[in-house]
């Protein structure tokens, strides 16, 4: 634990984590559930710092069946996913609470949206700085370094922290 920065609260059997437990990762993600032979095993839930959660059945450290619930209560359903698809582009909060009046746009599920630092992108779980290629969570804590594929995806698809003029530019 001292090497990984993790914390374990629970029982040990033959020196291994076993039984009902809590396991706190250095990212502040917390697992609450059953452990066996030092691994997630049985019923357990991962609680993420952004308020979302993953309830699952685990076998030898791998999730074999589970449900992901976003922080706003929306549950992910791989077979019947109708949120923000090609037919209905509304955000979940718009589905729950209705659309804004004409002329007032909602650009994220969170309204008002987060203020993105200048030069950065909002990549969904934090802010990305393309100069350093570091993603930090919304409380400015390190999450990860972006590889080339993630960097390209963020640059192409995520909301920027600055305005750009697109289309026609009038002559001055």
- The continuous run of DSSP H or E covering 68 comes out as strand 62-69
Per-residue pLDDT of the chain (172 residues; tens, 9 = 90+): 667 889 999 999 999 999 999 999 988 899 999 999 999 999 999 999 888 999 999 999 999 999 998 887 888 877 777 666 667 777 778 878 888 887 777 777 777 888 999 999 998 889 999 999 999 988 898 989 999 999 999 999 888 988 776 666 667 6
CB 71 within 8 A of CB 63: no
Q: Helices marked H in the chain — which ranges? A: 92-97, 148-157
Q: Is the pTM of this model over 0.85?
A: no
User: Could you give the strand order of the β-sheet that contains 127-129, starting from the edge strand earlier in sequence?
Assistant: 142-145, 134-136, 127-129, 121-122, 159-160
């Amino acid at each position: 634990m001292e090497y990984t920065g993790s914390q374990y609260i629970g029982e040990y059997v033959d020196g291994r984590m076993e039984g009902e437990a809590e396991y706190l990762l250095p990212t502040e993600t917390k697992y609450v559930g059953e452990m066996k032979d030092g691994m997630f095993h049985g019923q357990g839930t991962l609680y993420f710092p952004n308020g979302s959660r993953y309830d699952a059945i685990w076998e030898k450290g791998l999730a074999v069946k589970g449900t992901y619930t976003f922080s706003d209560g929306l549950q992910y359903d791989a077979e019947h996913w109708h949120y923000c698809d090609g037919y209905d582009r509304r955000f979940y909060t718009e589905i729950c609470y209705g659309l804004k009046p004409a002329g007032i746009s909602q650009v994220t599920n969170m309204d008002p949206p987060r203020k993105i630092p200048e030069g950065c992108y909002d990549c969904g779980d934090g802010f990305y700085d393309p100069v350093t290629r570091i993603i930090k969570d919304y409380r400015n804590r390190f999450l990860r370094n972006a590889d080339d594929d993630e960097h390209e995806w963020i640059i192409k698809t995520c909301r920027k922290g600055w305005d750009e003029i697109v289309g026609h530019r009038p002559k001055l």
